[in-house]
Amino acid sequence: MPVTMDTLVSLSKRRGFVFQSSEIYGGTGSVWDYGPLGVELKQNIKRLWWRDFVQSRADMVGLDASILMHPMVWTASGHVDKFTDPMVDCHECRHRFRADHVDARPWTHYCPATKGNKFVIPAGEACGHCGARRTLCPECGKGELTAPRQFNLMFKTFMGPVEDEAALTYLRPETAQAMFVNFDNVLQSMRLKLPFGIAQAGRSFRNEITPGNFIFRTREFEQMEIEDFVNPHDTVEGRPADEWWHDRWIADCMAWFRRYGLREENLRLREHEKAELAHYAKRTVDIDYLFPIGWSELMGIANRSDYDLKQHSKFSGKSLTYFDEERKEHIVPFVVEPAAGVDRALLAFLADAYQEEEVRGEKRVVLRFHPELAPVKVAVLPLLKKREEIVRTAHGIRAALSRHFRVVYDDTAAIGRLYRRQDEVGTPYCVTVDVQTVGDRDKGESGDGRVTIRDRDSMQQVRVPEGELLPVFRGLLEDGDWGAVVARFGGVTADAGRSREGDP
């Protein structure tokens, strides 16, 4: 059964992934806070994106621009005039909706054919009794809706101490424009040749009319965007370079999400219709994900043509061109933009990783995160917390491994429960230290210096010399090849007996 949004919201709160912002004041539904595990997961997403798309590519450089920019940026980009959504209000309950989202909601209906009984009818459907379709407010079912008005989604603020028109500016609604505005700075300082990209991850703000669905649509969120500049006169494999690179980015982004765990059947591509295309776009393709709310946009990959550089050149009076050595001419590059949302990616990874299964008659909740995404990589658990040597060894292992990745120590429950807690937050590996590891001084027995590694997915256990832990985990966290560890150290056991024994 697919996971519900309620399950994810509740797990996120209970286990420290995501909290409602300002919850003690009643919270807001439009912004969320990332807790101790959420912040690790989010950082891992951004780090992997940066590693795979920036650090490892010779044709990519990074940028970290300000959120507050010159207000003319937003006039030139078209955001002041065109970054609007149509908004309607209910005359009765004053609820506000995005006009283009109204029909996608279930609607409240007082049916005249059943003496005015109240029904909540699924989105887009007619009433089964009277055949009526929605015309009134979907929320209260009573009020007429106003005609749509365009509402600008940019947050306004003032730069400096005087709150007047001259000081008006905006919180950036996307990170992309900084890459266009800095195009020449980056080009000159890094001596780049086309094609090359500029990447940036950072916060964006949109005063969404109807935020909601947990972290899917919020008013403050993070984006990971790339502006990949290409020479429109070049061809690759007989096709215009911008079109070739557009398809290449679509394939690369799909592969990236699959690589870190999103299942093939939960991903699809959606081509924008001509009428739907943004004013700057030659072609746009969305990667949609089957979120608990249904198929929705995870990221967009647009061919923005030369629109942005030309606009900023026109409004700033500065040349934003590239000298094509081969053709001996100045050209304005085309740009392909893969634009992803960090929060939506996190929601997708969380939803895809969530699994409930029955293990020996008990429910096990497990987040099957890719090891590189998992917020905690290793949990070190002493089997007996009353044995000082066991506890000391376990703390020592945590401290040594923590220099390399996120490791936690936990001795606050019996081992079976500790395993289940780690499964529920997606920790791929646990290490247990027991009497066999440290020996029993009273009996004159020395330890074997081996600890047990337990694999989250198979629940198998293997004993490994303590000194081998770091190289073993380095390998596992990179390729997750548990089979190789089993083959090398042998002696596999299941965690069953031990977790039962230890259960309180």
Binding residues for ligand ATP, rule: CB under 6 A, are 174, 206, 208, 217-218, 221, 223, 297-300, 339-341, 343-344
CA distance 468 to 452: 12
148 vs 449 by CB, closer to ligand ATP: 148
9 vs 340 by CB, closer to ligand ATP: 340
Length of the chain: 504
Query: Other C-beta atoms within 10 Å of 218: how many?
Result: 23
98 vs 129 by CB, closer to ligand ATP: 98
183 vs 205 by CB, closer to ligand ATP: 205
216 vs 369 by CB, closer to ligand ATP: 216
442 token code pair? 């009273």
Tell me how far, at minimum, the Cβ of 22 lies from ligand ATP, in Å: 18
285 Cβ contact list (under 8 Å, min separation 6): 246, 250, 269, 270, 271, 272, 300, 301
Rounded to a whole number of angstroms, the CA Rg of the chain reads 27
Tell me how far, at minimum, the Cβ of 206 lies from ligand ATP, in Å: 5
Tell me how far, at minimum, the Cβ of 264 lies from ligand ATP, in Å: 20
254 vs 299 by CB, closer to ligand ATP: 299
Contact 415, 500 (CB under 8 A): no
Query: Other C-beta atoms within 10 Å of 336: how many?
Result: 28
107 vs 205 by CB, closer to ligand ATP: 205
100 token code pair? 């283009």
201 vs 299 by CB, closer to ligand ATP: 299
214 vs 334 by CB, closer to ligand ATP: 214
SS (H, E, C) 48-89: HHHHHHHHCCCCEEECCCCCECCHHHHHHCCHHHHCEEEEEE
203 token code pair? 């916060």
Tell me how far, at minimum, the Cβ of 8 lies from ligand ATP, in Å: 15
Tell me how far, at minimum, the Cβ of 380 lies from ligand ATP, in Å: 36
Strands 294-303 and 334-341: antiparallel
344 vs 456 by CB, closer to ligand ATP: 344
133 vs 203 by CB, closer to ligand ATP: 203
Tell me how far, at minimum, the Cβ of 53 lies from ligand ATP, in Å: 15
CA distance 77 to 309: 9
Strands (E), 122-259: 149-152, 156-158, 168-170, 196-205, 220-230, 235-236, 239-240
CA distance 473 to 377: 9
304 vs 454 by CB, closer to ligand ATP: 304
Cα–Cα distances (Å) from 88 to 101, 107, 126, 207, in that order, read: 10, 15, 21, 15
Residue nearest ligand ATP, CB atom distance: 341
Tell me how far, at minimum, the Cβ of 274 lies from ligand ATP, in Å: 16
Tell me how far, at minimum, the Cβ of 297 lies from ligand ATP, in Å: 5
CA distance 355 to 1: 9
281 token code pair? 């776009």
CA distance 385 to 466: 19
CA distance 410 to 418: 7
Contact 29, 216 (CB under 8 A): no
Alpha carbon distance, N-terminus to C-terminus of the chain: 30
Omega cis (within 30) before 173: no
Tell me how far, at minimum, the Cβ of 489 lies from ligand ATP, in Å: 42
| Partner residues linked to 363 by β-bridges | 358
Tell me how far, at minimum, the Cβ of 298 lies from ligand ATP, in Å: 6
Contact 415, 499 (CB under 8 A): yes
Tell me how far, at minimum, the Cβ of 19 lies from ligand ATP, in Å: 17
Tell me how far, at minimum, the Cβ of 218 lies from ligand ATP, in Å: 4
